Amino acid sequence: MNNTIMQLSEAIIDGNIMEAKILTQKALDMGATAKQILDEGLMNGMNEVGELFRDGELFVPEVLVASKAMDTGMEIIKPFLKEGDVEKKGKCVFATVKGDLHDIGKKLVAMMMEGAGYEIVDLGVDVSPEQLVDAVKEHEPELLGMSAMLTTTMAYMNDTVKALEENGLLDKVGVMIGGAPVSPKYASEINAKYSADASSAVELANSLISL
């Protein structure tokens, strides 16, 4: 069984969608729990993909295919996750900020957080501070995740935090930010928390939820 889960990780890294589907089902049939398949197979593979992408060994198209392979596995285990011991930890609203159309990093983070037990509300790309404030009012999430890939759009993260503060919402939601131009220093300056990649975003979310 452990060998099958290890092969599943490799299938995710290779972006082999059909293989990921077959191995996920096989692991379930062999008696692996959905949580085990998620943590040791799907997440493990996707974390490796994130590291390879960061190191320049994988590129955007390969990351997209890998995330599709993970999605295929997730579809199979999702019903079992809901029945099993992975309870919803909280709700998170995600968006790529105004003026920015990049969403691969955001999608990966959202996918991993969903797998880790979070309810995800993804607003998509090019989302204004006003729309984010409205979404926080409507969905009442514990967390808000913002992504930016352009230095020119980063300022909207600050605008959003200020708008949350003006609306009395900042103390009700943990703000997580990430993306290529974003740094821990910038996050600290605008009263947000920084996440370098998808796997550390899950750890950050867990730490913010437990506060």
Q: How confident is the model at residue 138 (pLDDT cuts 50, 70, 90)?
A: very high
- pLDDT over threshold 90, residue 146: yes
The strand pairing partners of 90, in sequence order, are 118
pLDDT at 84: 53
Read off φ and ψ for residue 92, nearest 5 degrees: -135, 130
Position 28 pLDDT exceeds 60: yes
Average pLDDT over the chain reads 91
Q: What is the mean pLDDT of residues 36-47?
A: 88
- Burial profile 89-110: b = 16 or more Cβ within 10 angstroms, e = fewer: bbbbbbbbbbbbebbbbbbbbb
Stretch 141-158: mean pLDDT, rounded? Answer: 96
Percent of the chain with pLDDT over 90: 65
- In the prediction, which pLDDT does 126 show? 97
Largest separation between any pair of C-alpha atoms in the chain: 54
pLDDT at 132 over 60: yes
Question: In this predicted structure, what is the pLDDT of residue 88?
Answer: 74
How far is it, in rounded angstroms, from Cα 145 to Cα 85? 25
What are the structural domains, with CATH classification, of the chain?
A: 2-83 (1.10.1240.10), 90-210 (3.40.50.280)
CA 95, CA 177: separation in Å to the nearest integer?
10
Q: For residue 73, how many C-alpha atoms fall within 13 Å in the half-sphere facing its CB?
A: 40
